[in-house]
Amino acid sequence: MLVEKITARIKLWTSATLSYAGRLQLIKTTLFSMQVYWMSMFILPMAVIKRIESILARFLWRGPSLAANGSKVSWDRICYPLKEGGLGIKSSQEWNKAALLKHFWRILTCDHSIWSGWVHAVLLKGKSIWEVKAPSNASWTWRNLMGSRSWCKGLFQTKIGNGERTSLCFDYWVPGGYSLAETLPASTISSSTSTIRWDSKVSTIIRNGEWVFPNGHHVLQRVWNSITFLPNSHRQDTIKWRESPSGIFSIASAWNWLRRTRGNHNLHSLIWYSNHVPRYALTLWLASMGRLSTLDRPKMSFFNGGRHCVLCGIEDESHDHLFFHCSPVLGLSAPCEL
């Protein structure tokens, strides 16, 4: 359904005058916003994501016809911020995963929504989200959340107050950003003291605002020794998002953590300067990538006039010649002091 909606919207834009820059803006705004709801609710199958990105790439380079050939730059190279040499388009797969993390935030912070309350009452039943298993009849969304835990655990850390909401073994409250369950053998907690079980809360080792650490396995003792902060019996436990200085979760900060990165493009400030003209900036960006349709490119072999520059007629046409050596072009740019 999502693929059909995006395709139908593109088909409404029949104007042949839309430039690359105009189509890029539509992709960043209208077409991206059409995906936001779906990406915030589900992990989209890779086949769907690939299909959507293929449609967007065809629209960018070929317009509403969505012709299959003619892409100047691969979609993977485009999906980077402007300063990193991309076109500022967000990868659907990366944004999808970032949006799904918001569900973890809502559950862990008990945001008082109906959905969060239902999850705690019906699915978690007092257990940690890092502990439970998905039942066989679980919804698509819940199965996706359960499957996502392997790559996002440790990103949501608990600041201990009274310890009543935090799982002693499964939540991420220990200094260093890990849980006891990840570091200790299954028998360690139960053998250390009969009063602590795997389903215990942190509050079971707090008494009168002080830690009451049980003796036990030497690994467990190292964990206790690493805890230098004191609990606060007058405050509830709070959740912190590790990838933000404020500790508050946002999809944007999650996307920035998830996304691929690369070094800054050395021509970024020249191309995307303040008050740039989008159409000209995109042309210059294509030139910086060596992707303009100059006659030296193999795809221009159909041109019957040879490879000589059509402006000076002396040298073969290439990006280097056109921008730095072609005498007619240099004559035009000289008054501009470029």
Tell me the three-class secondary structure of 221-236, residue by residue: HHHHHHCCCCCCCCCC
Residue 215's pLDDT is 76
CA distance 121 to 240: 23
CA distance 331 to 333: 6
Residue 88's pLDDT is 96
CA distance 242 to 230: 20
Intervals of the chain under pLDDT 70:
15-16, 185-196, 216-217, 299-305, 333-338
The tens digit of pLDDT for each residue in 187-210 reads 665 555 445 678 889 999 999 999
Residue 198's pLDDT is 80
DSSP reduced 3-state for 281: helix
CA distance 147 to 168: 22
- Quick one: the chain helix, strand, coil %, rounded to 5? 50, 5, 45
CA distance 26 to 60: 9
